[in-house]
Structure 1
Amino acid sequence: MAQSLTHDPNAWRAVAYADLELPNSEAVPYASLWADRLKKNNDAYVAKGDTRFAVANAPASESHIVVRSPTKTVVLSVLHTLTGCLPIRTDPVGNATLKRCPMRLAIYQNGRSTVADAGSGCFIEYGAQPNNVRPDLARNGAMGAYDVQAKTIRAGIVFQGEIAPECQFRVPVPQP
């Protein structure tokens, strides 16, 4: 699911998701961002005798918001793996689970990249929807925006139709 472009970085928009189990060309940068954690997740599956993922990663996905300026690109990414996340609560009606997972901030500027752990963030794991209907993002949705004045990425979750207070984050973007 690609993230929509906006001319107003302050405007909230849905985060984008990438499947990291067998990443396509669009997901490779996010798999690279999480290579160490993906290896740890893969090793955990092997340690349990699960070798189904010999040619791919064990189940993993991530959500991200990308902020671009003329001189740099900033990515806030949350990694979802079964071994790296903890459930917070579930929504049986929306068939979704809210989880706390690791979060990273990556900055790409002048041909260089900087990656920093950004604590933990929230991730919505969507279960199968009837008739393959897309999840109701007004009920369970992850959003992000860039606060130009404060120079922070804002990330937030609506879960079960209400703002999830434990999943509202402001991540400062380091300035040169």
Structure 2
Amino acid sequence: MSVPLPLRGLLLALLLALSPPALAQRQASEPEIKAAILVNMLLFVEWPESGEEAEEALAVCYLSDSPVADALVRLDGKILRKRRLRVLRTDETGAVRCHALYVSQGDDAALLASPPGPGPLLAGDTPGDLQRGVMVNLELVAGRVVFDVDLRAARRAGLNVSSKALRLARTVLE
């Protein structure tokens, strides 16, 4: 699927807006790009309303150390949707308090079985992660980071993903 030029420009602008100034002066690494795309996905996802969300920080969590988790930590404190981005290490019991949960290749696949009802946006970057329950999977293809979306899993978790983000995805499972 080819992404229209205006949408590519929008995504690039969003990535640069969230990146530290030093990243704009050099080419970002693969983990930095993956972290920026994951964070930018938060702009295109709606969670079930809890009544507190207007003042609550947007929490992006990770389970174990990895290059992408390190890149996410460097984005901690950014303002997104007029809310502060909080990047936190968590375990399976704390994951329900996260808006997004990044899972790396070594993380327990049992955590990825998304139960029905509200939950975090599960994101990973390992081939086959969509089959493990990840909702957004980031991969490097021909030198570019692309992402796939499992819309069914997102809907089971009570999440609404904007059609704007879905148009940028390489693959959408419905």
Band of TM-score, shorter chain: under 0.3
Greater C-alpha Rg: 1
Ranked by relative contact order (alpha carbons within 8 Å, sequence separation 6 or more), the top structure is 2
More helix by share: 2
Pick the structure with more strand per residue: 1
With the length of structure 1 as denominator, give the TM-score of the two structures: 0.27
